[in-house]
Chain A
Amino acid sequence: MPIEAISAIIGLVLSLLIFSYLIGDNPLFRSAIYLFIGVASGYAAVVIWHQVLLPRLFQPLLSADPNQLLPVVVPLGLSVSLLAKLSPRISWMGSFAMAMLVGVSAATALSGAVIGTLIPQSRAAMDAFASPTVGRLLQGIVMLAGTALTLAYFQFSATRAADGSIKRSVIFEFLAWIGRVFIAITFGVLFAGVYMAALSAMIERLSSMINFVKSFLGL
């Protein structure tokens, strides 16, 4: 039996086990997901090993070239220190590596947020009014209003009323309410997109299963 057929049979069985979750949580579903978690984690570890650790850490260590060896000494020490995280008593030893990781991550996230989203999205909101036509202008106004009012909705600062209740001003609440309408519309569109993706996945799964059965039965 070809390897593709074996893969198809296993995939068919596992797909059925997963679909059994629609009936309810059951041992078959559990078996499938635990098997899946193990295989997926193992595969990810293999990819990390072959794609990152081996070429970037261990191959330079094995090479006698000091130019390659020197840059990996520090990451090697930091990486090994991470193994201390497996024991709570000495986990502090791995904090240096995690501190560097968090620092770089924070800088990356910050730059990504500013350079990647804040500025480009703001520019895009402005560009909608460049060389405006009637339709484009209308679209730009609506999008601009949606952007501004959605941003306004998330205003966190509020004031404490005389009766002790915390609220925002009436005008602010009205603008925020309109912003919520934009948010609800956005979520509605996104939800529909997610559903189409899920439906596509179901169709793909059912299609592959049925096609395999057809081919297996010679239909």
Chain B
Amino acid sequence: MRYLTAAIAIASGLIVLLGYFYPLDTLIQLRVMLTDWVVIIAAMAVLVGIANLVLVHTDKIRSGEKNSIYGVLLIVSLLFTFVAGLVFGPNSQFMRVAIDAIIVPVEASLMAILAVTLVYASIRLLRRRADVMTVIFLVVALLFLIAVMPTPIGPVPGDFLLLQFLQMFSDGGARGLLIGIALGALLTSLRVLIGIDRPYGGN
């Protein structure tokens, strides 16, 4: 079976890959078809994942694990939202309330917490790693914040120059990082396409 799954993965991957590089109609149609199939599979995977989420918390509640009571809240809210969404649709008033009253405020609040935690992390950084790179990291971050910081007298003098100077270095570094990550992703994907890595349970 593991050979069959590997063959399926390699074949589907190569078809899509060739479809990207060779814009032949046949390859494009095959790639689009496979993509549509995979989109459906991925969508079903979301439902399976949600079922797994429910099962995990149900199991915790059954076994009486620590703080498992919160799982009840999660399951109830999830099922209620899902059922209401199936009934009223994603653009219904109920879904808007779910977004405006719960999802956005909570996510925005979690993001807002970072305004404190990131400062805290920066403060502790020199205690955790006191080296040249850390100092450069903090100095650049502070200079960038100073450059964009509004002041009662307007922008900090030379803000543009400072930002362009910093971005001149950061753009080069970012580009190098992106290219390196692309190389890593390239090799990682190749291992899958060659069949060396089989994360789908094939090995």
Contact = CB atoms under 8 A, between A and B. Distances in A.
B125 to A, nearest CB: 10
A79 B144 CA distance: 49
Interface in B51-101: 51-53, 55, 67, 70-71, 73-82, 85-86, 89-90, 93, 95-101
A7 B101 contact: yes
B193 A50 contact: no
B13 A107 contact: yes
Interface in A112-158: 112-118, 121-122, 124-125, 139, 142-151, 153-154
Interface string B92-122: 0101111111111111111111111011001
Contacts of A195: 114-115, 118-119, 141, 145
Contacts of A71: 33, 36
The SS class assigned to the B binding surface is helix
A41 B40 contact: no
A89 to B, nearest CB: 13
Closest 10 CB pairs of A and B: A146-B172, A150-B176, A188-B140, A46-B85, A42-B81, A38-B77, A186-B173, A103-B13, A202-B112, A11-B105
Interface of B: 1, 4-6, 8-17, 20-21, 33-48, 50-53, 55, 67, 70-71, 73-82, 85-86, 89-90, 93, 95-116, 118-119, 122, 133-134, 136-145, 148, 166-183, 185-186, 188-190, 192-193, 198-202
29 contacts: A15-B106, A15-B108, A37-B77, A39-B81, A41-B53, A43-B98, A43-B103, A46-B89, A46-B90, A50-B90, A52-B39, A75-B41, A82-B45, A95-B202, A103-B9, A103-B13, A104-B35, A107-B16, A109-B189, A110-B193, A118-B179, A121-B178, A142-B168, A185-B166, A186-B169, A193-B144, A198-B114, A201-B115, A205-B112
